[in-house]
């Protein structure tokens, strides 16, 4: 685990150093107005007598209130809720054969990055645990300018053409008459739109899967989604898809848990990211690329330009080419995380666009939205957005201009200013667009090669483990159950039946509906006015691949408990040895332990030692932890057994399929739970790995079995009887 540097500060990089002249620290400083006047009284406004009216003259009051009145800027229309972090990217091997991008050529260079994770639909203050796509936007401050990889945690998207983006977003956002629901897709307008747009079906499978409720921002994958191009020194182009692979594995929470976390700690993901970085448990991802030579563009049974399709890893393996480490929290949320402006069009030589019509539409949108959100054309001068390389051009003026451009010339060509700034030859790093050959009619149309909407949705369903499939069915049943218009539910059941009959039947059952024999035609309602619906029917391509292992989270990395949060329930009279042995074993394995007790302060152990309490049952909840341990100690056990909150804590942890361990002496507490009847007979390693329940008298052995169980993340098999109370 990486550590903070000697001063106890998080590591610096070229970008965080460049931010330093813009930072301010008030320690030991005197208070001034914005024009630098020293302030003598910041408590009282200027009045006509002690009990008199406030005077208009009070410029100090007016300045303070005026600034306050203007503190807010518009939130992002999508991805409003976000959390950011600084870090570095290090390259494993030179990619010079396929790209001339400098930061992907030199393995000795550390490229500073700033990352912003986000939810899409909710407002700035909404819960982190909404069922939603997560934004995964990375700004690389490279030696050739900023490269922004503005991706998501899902590899595909809802729509194929940028023209439909405002419709999609209007449909998912709170309904316009009553502004409900907040940060949720479970409502009529969203499913109305989706049920008429079969191209969304693949993405819907991802959105209804556990990928939409990550355990941590540190435990999710990232994807560039679109096909991009790599261009090498010789001008040869290869198609490329970008991936981020988290070194902690890909893990999620249960839906019931997500809903509870939203109440107990709506900042759960933001806090988790912040705390991990503060503690030195720096999150890491490997950058992966799938490379497809231009000659292979048409070798797949889907179109590489279609953003509702992924390239299965079985067809084109992901090469891991470097690692990103997030090692520094922002100093100021507004200045950095809020003001950062990503743009999918910020590329560097060696990287270029494909004709994906969604990507093409995004190229316009990002600058446009920053103009209003950040108040003018100079948002690139905001410290977090500035590249590390110098910016020189003839763009001038505008609101909030920071640069003081010298000289007379702000045009080119010019003779008065030596024709500077000079253009740069391609050989010296000047950007040139890839010269793709185009011979086409100007049309508003979509390629027939985009019309297979179900094969990859089916591939996704087939690739899920049984628990994942159950979660998918539950999520669809929940979301459609919240839809009030029965016709929309019915239409969706019809669409689902085109993906997987079994899945559709189970969802239909939960909704009290039947799977229709014949699906209502046309199912695609995204048809131009003069279009013939018959020409817009989905085509069914029998995908060659049955399953793709990478689409399931079942076999993700599950070999460590780094930064996992474990609760130890204790009261006065606890067995200190039992508590401390397990606690230190967890800490040595990289886990985080909180002792939770009926009240805050400290518990007095049976041996009279004092154990500090981190949380009480009032301030903590099982949904905020990955696992729970109950140590022995007669009176502690007696107290916890009679403490409804302790029993609820365990019941809920069981329901959410978490590892639970108890000292033999604490069996009394477990007997008060509803799962006491499910306690296994033996506690062999095999049994522990199957059930996630550990009981024993030998604290050291118990600790190692417990750690093994926590590293498995969840024991979804427990859901099987599917009759667990809350
Ligand atoms: Fe975005 N998107 N998007 N998007 N997007 C924005 O830009 C847009 C799309 C993504 O943390 C906005 O600065 C259009 C796909 C992320 O600041 C806006 C289309 C993917 C973020 C915008 C898409 C994304 C945004 C809103 C369809 C995954 C947050 C605020 C043509 C590959 C970045 C802003 C951050 C943000 C437009 C589709 C990812 C309005 C028009 C596909 C991660 O410009």
pLDDT, position 7: 45
Tokens (6 digits) for 328? 């520094």
Pairing of strands 319-328, 284-293: antiparallel
pLDDT higher than threshold 90 for residue 9: no
pLDDT higher than threshold 90 for residue 725: no
Q: Which of 158, 366, 370, 373 to mutate to test the pocket of ligand 1 (most atoms within 8 A of CB)?
A: 366
- CA 542 to ligand 1 center in whole angstroms: 32
Q: Phi and psi (nearest 5°) for 448?
A: -55, -25
pLDDT, position 650: 98
Residue corresponding to tokens 């100007």: 442
Tokens (6 digits) for 679? 């306690």
Q: Can you spell out the DSSP letters for 2-33?
A: ----TTSPPPP-HHHHHHGGG----TTPPPB-
Q: How far apart are CA 379 and CA 339, in angstroms?
A: 8
Count of residues making up the chain: 726
| Atom 41 of ligand 1, nearest CA residue | 362
pLDDT, position 724: 46
Cβ of 114 less than 6 Å from ligand 1: no
Task: Report the nearest atom of ligand 1 relative to the CA of 136.
Answer: 43
pLDDT, position 520: 87
Q: Is 152 tagged catalytic?
A: yes
Cβ of 79 less than 6 Å from ligand 1: yes
Q: What is the mean pLDDT of residues 603-622?
A: 98
Task: Report the nearest atom of ligand 1 relative to the CA of 364.
Answer: 41
The predicted-structure confidence for 383-426, as pLDDT tens digits, reads as follows 999 999 999 999 999 999 999 999 999 999 999 999 999 999 99
Cβ neighbours of residue 142 closer than 8 Å, sequence gap 6 or more:
101, 102, 103, 111, 348, 388
Q: Which of 78, 120, 334 to mutate to test the pocket of ligand 1 (most atoms within 8 A of CB)?
A: 78
The predicted-structure confidence for 15-57, as pLDDT tens digits, reads as follows 999 999 999 999 999 999 999 999 999 999 999 999 999 999 9
Q: How far apart are CA 83 and CA 96, in angstroms?
A: 33
Cβ of 471 less than 6 Å from ligand 1: no
Q: How far apart are CA 611 and CA 623, in angstroms?
A: 23
pLDDT higher than threshold 60 for residue 723: no
CA proximity to 399, closest of 366, 370, 363, 362:
370
The reported pTM is 0.97
DSSP for residue 464: S
Pairing of strands 693-696, 659-663: parallel
The predicted-structure confidence for 179-193, as pLDDT tens digits, reads as follows 999 999 999 999 999
Cβ neighbours of residue 460 closer than 8 Å, sequence gap 6 or more:
202, 205, 206, 209, 551
Alpha carbon of 461 to those of 202, 204, 467, 508, 585: distances in Å? 9, 11, 12, 17, 39
pLDDT, position 492: 98
Q: Phi and psi (nearest 5°) for 181?
A: -90, 160
Alpha carbon of 577 to those of 200, 259, 566, 641, 703: distances in Å? 56, 36, 17, 20, 12
pLDDT higher than threshold 70 for residue 231: yes
DSSP for residue 556: S
Cβ neighbours of residue 692 closer than 8 Å, sequence gap 6 or more:
657, 658, 659, 660, 709, 712, 714, 715, 718
Cβ of 78 less than 6 Å from ligand 1: yes
Q: What is the mean pLDDT of residues 259-267?
A: 98
Please answer whether residues 118 and 80 qualify as being in contact, where contact means their C-beta atoms are separated by less than 8 angstroms.
Answer: yes
CA proximity to 706, closest of 600, 588, 557, 554:
588
Q: pLDDT grade, residue 721 (50/70/90)?
A: low
DSSP for residue 234: T
3-class DSSP assignment, residue 538: coil
Cβ of 366 less than 6 Å from ligand 1: yes
Q: pLDDT grade, residue 294 (50/70/90)?
A: very high
Q: Is 232 tagged catalytic?
A: no
Q: How far apart are CA 138 and CA 153, in angstroms?
A: 12
DSSP for residue 198: G
Please return the burial class of 201, using the count of CB atoms within 10 Å of its CB with bins 0-12, 13-18 and 19+: buried
Please answer whether residues 582 and 661 qualify as being in contact, where contact means their C-beta atoms are separated by less than 8 angstroms.
Answer: yes
Pairing of strands 82-91, 319-328: antiparallel
The predicted-structure confidence for 507-532, as pLDDT tens digits, reads as follows 999 999 999 999 988 999 999 999 99
Please answer whether residues 317 and 550 qualify as being in contact, where contact means their C-beta atoms are separated by less than 8 angstroms.
Answer: no
| Atom 1 of ligand 1, nearest CA residue | 362
Please answer whether residues 327 and 2 qualify as being in contact, where contact means their C-beta atoms are separated by less than 8 angstroms.
Answer: yes
pLDDT higher than threshold 50 for residue 245: yes
Cβ of 225 less than 6 Å from ligand 1: yes
3-class DSSP assignment, residue 170: helix
Task: Report the nearest atom of ligand 1 relative to the CA of 225.
Answer: 32
Task: Report the nearest atom of ligand 1 relative to the CA of 369.
Answer: 44
Q: How far apart are CA 499 and CA 459, in angstroms?
A: 9
Q: pLDDT grade, residue 542 (50/70/90)?
A: confident
List the end-to-end C-alpha distance of the chain, in Å, as a whole number.
37
Neighbour count for residue 232 (Cβ, 10 Å): 17
Please answer whether residues 112 and 153 qualify as being in contact, where contact means their C-beta atoms are separated by less than 8 angstroms.
Answer: no
CA proximity to 249, closest of 467, 552, 463:
552
Helix (H) or strand (E) holding 285, with range, is strand 284-293
Please answer whether residues 98 and 291 qualify as being in contact, where contact means their C-beta atoms are separated by less than 8 angstroms.
Answer: yes
pLDDT higher than threshold 70 for residue 703: yes
Q: Phi and psi (nearest 5°) for 444?
A: -100, 100
Cβ neighbours of residue 236 closer than 8 Å, sequence gap 6 or more:
98, 294
Q: What is the mean pLDDT of residues 450-457?
A: 97
Domains and CATH numbers, the chain: 82-193+214-385 (2.40.180.10), 565-718 (3.40.50.880)
Residue corresponding to tokens 């490997």: 286
- CA 141 to ligand 1 center in whole angstroms: 19
Cβ of 345 less than 6 Å from ligand 1: no
Q: How far apart are CA 694 and CA 98, in angstroms?
A: 51
Cβ of 118 less than 6 Å from ligand 1: yes
Residue from 152, 260, 327, 524 carrying the catalytic annotation: 152
Average pLDDT, the chain: 96
Residue corresponding to tokens 């030696």: 143
The residue that leads in pLDDT, 5 or 534, is 534
Q: Phi and psi (nearest 5°) for 144?
A: -115, 20
| Atom 9 of ligand 1, nearest CA residue | 362
The predicted-structure confidence for 132-188, as pLDDT tens digits, reads as follows 999 999 999 999 999 999 999 999 999 999 999 999 999 999 999 999 999 999 999
Q: CB-hemisphere CA count at 13 Å for 438?
A: 8
Q: Which of 365, 371, 374 to mutate to test the pocket of ligand 1 (most atoms within 8 A of CB)?
A: 365
Please answer whether residues 327 and 342 qualify as being in contact, where contact means their C-beta atoms are separated by less than 8 angstroms.
Answer: no
pLDDT, position 10: 82
Cβ neighbours of residue 112 closer than 8 Å, sequence gap 6 or more:
13, 14, 15, 16, 86, 87, 88, 89, 140, 141, 388
pLDDT, position 380: 98
pLDDT, position 544: 75
- CA 78 to ligand 1 center in whole angstroms: 7
Q: How far apart are CA 680 and CA 157, in angstroms?
A: 44
Q: How far apart are CA 680 and CA 688, in angstroms?
A: 9
């Amino acid at each position: 685990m990486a550590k903070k540097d000697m001063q106890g500060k998080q590591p610096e990089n070229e970008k965080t150093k460049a931010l330093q002249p813009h930072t301010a620290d008030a320690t030991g400083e005197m208070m001034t107005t914005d024009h630098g006047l020293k302030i003598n009284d910041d408590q009282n406004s200027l009045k006509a007598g002690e009990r008199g009216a406030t005077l208009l003259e009070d410029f100090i009051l007016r300045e303070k209130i005026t600034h306050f009145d203007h503190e807010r800027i518009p939130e992002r229309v999508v991805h409003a809720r976000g959390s950011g972090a600084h870090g570095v990217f290090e390259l494993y091997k030179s990619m010079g054969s396929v790209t001339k991008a400098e930061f992907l050529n030199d393995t000795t260079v550390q490229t500073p990055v700033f990352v912003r994770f986000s939810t899409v639909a909710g407002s700035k203050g909404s819960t982190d645990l909404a069922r939603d796509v997560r934004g995964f936007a990375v700004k690389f401050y490279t030696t050739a300018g900023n490269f922004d990889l503005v991706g998501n945690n899902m590899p595909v998207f809802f729509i194929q053409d940028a023209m439909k983006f405002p419709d999609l977003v209007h449909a998912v956002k709170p309904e316009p008459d009553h502004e409900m629901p907040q940060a949720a897709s479970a409502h009529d307008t969203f499913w109305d739109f989706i049920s008429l747009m079969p191209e969304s079906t693949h993405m819907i499978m991802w959105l209804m899967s556990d990928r939409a409720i990550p355990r941590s921002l540190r435990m999710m994958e990232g994807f560039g989604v679109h096909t991009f191009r790599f261009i090498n020194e010789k001008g040869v182009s290869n198609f490329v898809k970008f991936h981020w692979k988290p070194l902690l594995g890909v893990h999620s929470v249960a839906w019931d848990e997500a809903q509870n976390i939203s109440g107990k700690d709506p900042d759960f993901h933001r806090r988790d990211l912040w705390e991990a970085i503060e503690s030195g448990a720096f999150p890491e991802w490997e950058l992966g690329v799938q490379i497809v030579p231009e000659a292979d563009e048409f070798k797949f049974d889907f179109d590489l330009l279609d953003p509702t399709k992924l390239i299965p890893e079985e067809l084109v393996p992901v090469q891991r080419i470097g690692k990103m480490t997030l090692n520094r929290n922002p100093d100021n949320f507004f200045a950095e995380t809020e003001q950062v402006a990503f743009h999918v069009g910020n590329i560097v030589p060696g990287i270029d666009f494909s004709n994906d019509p969604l990507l093409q539409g995004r190229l316009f949108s990002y600058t446009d939205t920053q103009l209003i959100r950040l108040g003018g054309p100079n948002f690139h001068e905001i410290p977090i957005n500035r590249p590390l390389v110098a910016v020189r051009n003839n763009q001038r003026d505008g609101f909030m201009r920071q640069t003081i451009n010298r000289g007379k010339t702000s045009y080119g060509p010019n003779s008065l200013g030596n024709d500077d700034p000079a253009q740069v030859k391609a050989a010296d790093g000047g950007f040139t667009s890839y010269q793709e050959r185009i011979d086409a009619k100007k049309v508003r149309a979509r390629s027939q090669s985009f019309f297979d909407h179900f094969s990859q949705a089916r591939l996704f369903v087939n690739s899920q483990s049984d628990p994942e499939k159950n979660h998918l069915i539950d999520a669809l049943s929940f979301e459609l159950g919240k839809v009030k218009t029965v016709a929309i539910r019915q239409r969706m059941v019809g669409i689902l039946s085109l993906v997987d009959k079994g899945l559709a039947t189970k969802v239909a059952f939960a909704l009290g509906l039947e799977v229709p024999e014949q699906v209502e035609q046309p199912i695609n309602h995204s048809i131009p006015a003069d279009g013939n619906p018959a020409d817009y029917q989905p085509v069914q391509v029998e995908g060659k691949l049955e399953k793709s292992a990478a689409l399931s989270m079942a076999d993700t990395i599950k070999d460590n408990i780094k930064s996992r949060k474990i609760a130890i329930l204790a009261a006065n009279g606890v067995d200190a040895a039992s508590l401390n042995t397990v606690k230190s074993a967890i800490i040595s394995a990289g886990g985080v332990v909180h002792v939770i007790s009926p009240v805050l302060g400290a518990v007095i152990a049976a041996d009279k030692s004092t154990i500090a309490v981190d949380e009480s049952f009032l301030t903590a909840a099982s949904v905020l932890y990955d696992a729970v341990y109950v140590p022995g100690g007669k009176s502690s056990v007696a107290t916890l057994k009679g403490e409804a909150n302790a029993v609820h804590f365990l019941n809920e942890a069981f329901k959410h399929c978490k590892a639970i361990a108890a000292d033999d002496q604490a069996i009394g507490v477990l007997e008060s739970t509803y799962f006491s009847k499910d306690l296994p007979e033996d506690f062999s390693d095999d049994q522990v790995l199957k059930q996630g329940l550990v009981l024993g008298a030998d604290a050291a052995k118990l600790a190692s079995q417990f750690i093994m169980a926590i590293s498995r993340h969840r024991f979804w098999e427990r859901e099987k009887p599917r009759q667990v109370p809350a």
